Amino acid sequence: MFYIHCPYCGEHREEEEFHPKGQAHIARPEDPAACSDEEWGDYLFFRDNPRGIHHELWVHAVGCRKFFNVTRNTVTYEILETYKMGEQPSITAEYSDGRPAQDAADQASLREGVRA
């Protein structure tokens, strides 16, 4: 059972008030008609599905009904932060310059999340 902090209501509530809606920060292409099949298929269907830090959308379905973002560890299920739509995560599995946290020294932080 998760207790999730809704950044709009400002309260911790039980998981059952919320619905997960998949990976966050996926921008709809500006001009869908101009997309190649490759780009459009990737946008619709292909996901990161990481084992570890994941940024995901949730909706406070029986609360304020607003969508918001959650950074969560998909192995331990620990919720590291929740933040409003349009905001960026402060904890990521990559460094802010986009370099993946990959070498040996980064392994631990990859699991725990890198504070950007």
Partner 1 sequence: MQRYSGFGLVKHALSHHENWQRQWRNPTPKKAYDVIIVGGGGHGLATAYYLAKEHGIKNVAVIEKGWLGGGNTARNTTIVRSNYLWDEAAALYEHSMKLWEGLSQDLNYNVMFSQRGVMNLGHTLQDMRDIQRRVNANRLNGIDSEVITPERIKELVPVIDTSKNARYPILGASWQSRAGVARHDAVAWGFARAADAHGVDILQQTEVTGFKIRDGRAYGVHTNLGDVEAKTIGCVAAGNSGVLAKMAGIKLPLESHPLQALVSEPLKPVLDTVVMSNHVHGYISQSDKGDLVIGAGIDGYNGYGQRGSYSTVEHTLQAIVEMFPIFSRVRMNRQWGGIVDTCPDACPILSKTKVKGLFFNCGWGTGGFKATPGSGHVFAASLAKGEMHPIAAPFSIDRFNTGALVDEHGAAGVAH
Binding site for Zn ion (CB under 5 A): 6, 8-9, 60, 63-64
By CB atoms closer than 10 A (0-12, 13-18, 19+), residue 94 is: middle
Please, which residue, 60 or 72, has the CB nearer to partner 1? 72
Please, which residue, 9 or 79, has the CB nearer to Zn ion? 9
The DSSP bridge pattern shows strands 67-73 and 79-84 to be antiparallel
**Residue located via tokens 């059972």:** 1
Interatomic CA distance for residues 100 and 108, integer angstroms: 13
Residue 114: which residues within 8 A CB-CB, separation 6 or more? 91, 92, 93, 94, 95, 101, 106
- For residue 9, the minimal CB distance to partner 1 (Å) is 19
Q: What residue 1 binds from partner 1, Zn ion, none (CB within 5 to 8 A, per partner kind)? A: partner 1
In this chain, which stretch among 26-34, 39-47, 88-96, 108-116 interacts with partner 1, using CB under 8 A?
39-47
* Positions that interact with partner 1 (CB under 8 A): 1-2, 15-16, 19-20, 22-23, 37-38, 40-42, 44-51, 54, 56, 72, 74-77
